[in-house]
Amino acid sequence: MKSNRNMSRGEGRRLENVALIAFMLGSLVLLSLIRPRFSPTGKTGEAIKAAEQQAMRKESVKMETLDIADEAAALVEEEEETQPKPSDNSSSTALAADHHLRLSKPVCYESSRRSDTCEATGDVRVQGRVQTIHVSPLEQEWKVKPYCRKHDAFALAHVKEWALRPLHGDAPRCTINSSATAFVLSTGGFTGNLFHDYTDVLIPAFITAHSYAGEVQFLVSSFKSWWTTKYLEIIQQLSKHEVVDIDDDHEVRCYPSVVVGPTFHKELGMDASKTPAGSSMVDFRAMLRSAFGLERATATPSGDRWDIRRRPRLLIISRRSSRRFVNEQAMVDMAMSLGFDVRVGDPDVSTDVAKFARLVNSADVMVGVHGAGLTNMVFLPAGAVLIQVVPYGGLEWLARGTFKEPSPDMQIHYLEYMIQVDETTLSEDYPKDDPVLKDPYSIHKQGWDALKSVYLDKQNVKPHLGRLKNTFMEALKLLPHGRQSD
């Protein structure tokens, strides 16, 4: 009887092992079926592009903006659910499964809903003039556009496509060898707009490059010399090597590894759980302070009671064209009456980044109408307050996705001031019963161009000083500054 019980236990363990192996193999098969949906496979990625175009036709502009983060998270969760979860009692089986998974990972894959990324290790030879990377070992050709806005046809029309090809005997000989990792990215697309500079390029570049501790070389496609010069201090924080205008490069550059295309996580932010080194927006902002020599890590008052910075400083982001504050000087006077030291900043594409970063970093509260200028929030000290003035026209969803949701990860307090119909110049340009004023969502339904033309390009604002005063007082309560007078 004892022998039979032992045989029964042994048989049970064998059955459990067989079941475990079957489960893992089945999971791997399932993963191999799901992976192609994320991978830009084939010579030109026709299937992927067709799927993207179909998805774009189904989604409205509003919902696409709102759902970016949620859908990206859903894709990751879906992929994680297909991963085999090995038994704690079988470490060797777990290692074997991990090995198979790493081998099955495609060279190019959808690193997020907004970005495709290719990674290769081995004999890597980059021919920039023809946007080609020869790799050994590599079994098939892959193509990718290294810019984080893959669903936007207009943006991608200004981004060059790169090919990764198997290395054959007729491959070009190396003229420059490097021990760094090559990092190919594009400054085409919407670069030149401050918001897109950060959300499409700089933050994704940080996600990709930060973990290499400087041993990564930026190979920039669709190179804009003025853009690279503008953000050179940031790039130099991430790389110890020169930046290469790779499209105009006549060398054959050889590396032990390459990454083509940075990784996008979410608008003006990153998910620390998905970064190689667990990096977050706190780390990105610390890097910015180092790059531009910013003094203030936190929004704390000066220790010198006679210092003007003992008073909380309010920075108004001014605009020259649409969405301009009509009563800007009255806003300045009102804020000063509350005890603020007030500054007005007017950033544009030619603004010196380091100089303006220092101005923003000196502020405790920053206020501005929705627009690219609010991207300067990346320079605010932790504990500062961002007040986004949301133009009239049902634009809460746009304000939320661009600046409200990124604020907590930057350790910034967020307040919102909603423009009412009697505070917008649109009320002077349209009859009271016009759909522009009475039914903004009917304009939304006409598409992004119609929405932008009316509510972003034709509107200026005149906040009620009494109501805005309440918002400024609420901001004061969030700051550590005392109410002591000078």
Asked whether residue 238 is domain-assigned, the answer is yes
On whether both 327 and 415 belong to a single domain, the answer is yes
The DSSP output letter for 401 is I
Q: Tell whether 460 is covered by a domain.
A: yes
For residues 258 and 334, membership in a common domain is answered with no
**What is the Cα–Cα distance from 442 to 411, expressed in whole angstroms?**
36
| CATH classification of the domain holding 317 | 3.40.50
Q: Please, are residues 232 and 292 in contact by the beta-carbon 8 Å criterion?
A: no
**pLDDT at residue 91 is higher than 80:** no
Tokens of 408: 């907590």
Which residues, 6+ apart, have CB-to-CB distance to 95 below 8 Å? Answer: none
Q: Is the dihedral of CA 452, 453, 457, 458 positive or negative?
A: negative
Alpha carbons 408 and 398: distance in angstroms, whole number? 17
d(CA 380, CA 377): 5
258 and 348 both lie in a single domain: no
pLDDT at 321 over 80: yes
Residue with tokens 């006679």: 306
200 and 156 in a common domain: yes
Please give the pLDDT value at position 77.
36
**Partner residues linked to 417 by β-bridges:** 389
**What pLDDT score was predicted for residue 70?**
37
pLDDT at 375 over 60: yes
pLDDT number for residue 59: 34
pLDDT of residue 350: 78
Q: How far apart are CA 475 and CA 413, in angstroms?
A: 8
Q: Which residue has the higher pLDDT, 89 or 451?
A: 451
Q: How far is CA 95 from CA 22, 106, 398, in A?
A: 16, 19, 45
Residues 6+ apart with CB under 8 A from 445: 60
131 has a pLDDT exceeding 60: yes
313 and 238 share one domain: no
Structural domain contains residue 421:
yes
- Among 46-60, 188-202, 371-385, 432-446, the range scoring the smallest mean pLDDT is 46-60
Q: What is the Cβ-side half-sphere exposure of residue 195, based on CA atoms within 13 angstroms?
A: 13
**The pLDDT of residue 18:** 46
Strands (E), 236-321: 244-245, 252-260, 313-317
Report the distance separating Cα 374 and Cα 391, nearest Å: 14
Instruction: Evaluate the CA torsion angle 269, 275, 279, 284 in order and state its sign.
Output: negative
Q: Does 54 map to a domain?
A: yes
CB 101 within 8 Å of CB 85: no
Average pLDDT over the chain, rounded to an integer: 82
**Pair (100, 234) in one structural domain:** yes
pLDDT over 50 at 453, yes or no: yes
Q: Give the separation between CA 202 and CA 360, rounded to whole angstroms.
A: 19
Q: Which residue has the tokens 């969502």?
A: 441
Q: In the predicted model, is pLDDT for residue 37 greater than 80?
A: no
* Structure tokens belonging to residue 428: 């002077």
Residue 126 forms part of a structural domain: yes
* 298 falls within a domain: no
Higher pLDDT, 33 or 316: 316
| Same domain as 121, residue 229 | yes
Query: Roughly what angle, to the nearest 10 degrees, separates helices 465-478 and 328-337?
Result: 50
Task: Give the confidence band of 430 by pLDDT, cuts at 50, 70, 90.
Answer: very high
Residue 206 near residue 212, CB atoms below 8 Å: no
| Whether residue 315 sits in one domain with residue 240 | no
d(CA 310, CA 350): 31
Rounded Cα gap, residues 22 and 320, in angstroms: 66
- Would you state the pLDDT for residue 36? 35
Whether the pLDDT of residue 486 is over 90: the answer is no
The residue among 263, 279, 295 that closes a domain is 279
How would residue 5 be classed by pLDDT, with cut points 50, 70 and 90?
very low
Q: Are residues 144 and 192 in the same domain?
A: yes
Amino acid at 345: G
Tokens of 38: 């994320």
Structure tokens given for 181? 């990792």
CA–CA gap between residue 292 and residue 107 (Å, rounded): 36
Q: What type of residue sits at position 260?
A: V
**DSSP per residue, 11-29:** HHHHHHHHHHHHHHHHHHH
User: Mean pLDDT, to the nearest integer, of 375-400?
Assistant: 97
Asked whether residue 407 is assigned to any structural domain, the reply reads: yes
Domain's final residue, options 279, 299, 316: 279
pLDDT in tens, 186-244: 999 999 999 999 999 999 999 999 999 999 999 999 999 999 999 999 999 999 999 99
At 351 the pLDDT is 81
How far is residue 186's CA from residue 247's CA, in Å, rounded to a whole number? Answer: 10
Residue 135, domain member (yes or no): yes
Give the predicted TM-score (pTM) of the model.
Answer: 0.77
SS3 category, 120: strand
CA angle 353, 359, 351 (to 5 degrees): 30
How many domains does the structure of the chain reveal? 2
Which pLDDT score, from 0 to 100, does residue 105 have? 57
Q: Which residues pair with 119 in a beta bridge?
A: 259
219 CB contacts (<8 Å, ≥6 apart)?
126, 128, 182, 183, 184, 185, 244, 246, 249, 253
What pLDDT is stored for residue 349 in this prediction?
A: 74
Q: Name which of 66-70, 155-159, 247-251 the model is least confident about.
A: 66-70
> Rg (Cα) of the chain, in Å, rounded?
27
In this prediction, residue 170 has a pLDDT band, given cuts at 50, 70 and 90, of confident
Tell me what pLDDT residue 225 has: 94
Buried b (16+ CB within 10 A) or exposed e, 75-98: ebeebeeeebebeeebeebbeebe
**DSSP β-bridge partners for residue 255:** 124
Distance CA 261, CA 219 (A): 11
Pair 341, 445 in one domain: yes
> In angstroms, rounded to a whole number, what is the distance separating the alpha carbons of residues 162 and 40?
12
Nearest Cα neighbor of 204 from 279, 128, 270 is 270
Assess whether pLDDT exceeds 50 at residue 29.
no
Is the pLDDT confidence value at 23 over 70? no
Residue 129 and residue 242 in one domain: yes
As a whole number of Å, the end-to-end CA separation of the chain is 92
Q: Which amino acid is at 446?
A: Q
Q: Which of 279, 300, 325 is the last residue of a domain?
A: 279
Beta pairing class for 252-260 and 115-127: antiparallel
Q: What's the distance, CA 288 to chain centroid?
A: 15
Domain check: are 322 and 266 in the same one? no
- At 329-349, the pLDDT tens digits run 999 999 999 999 999 998 877
Instruction: Look up the domain containing 318 and give its range.
Output: 308-478
Tell me what pLDDT residue 276 has: 84
- Strand segments (E) across 29-107: none
36: helix, coil or strand?
helix
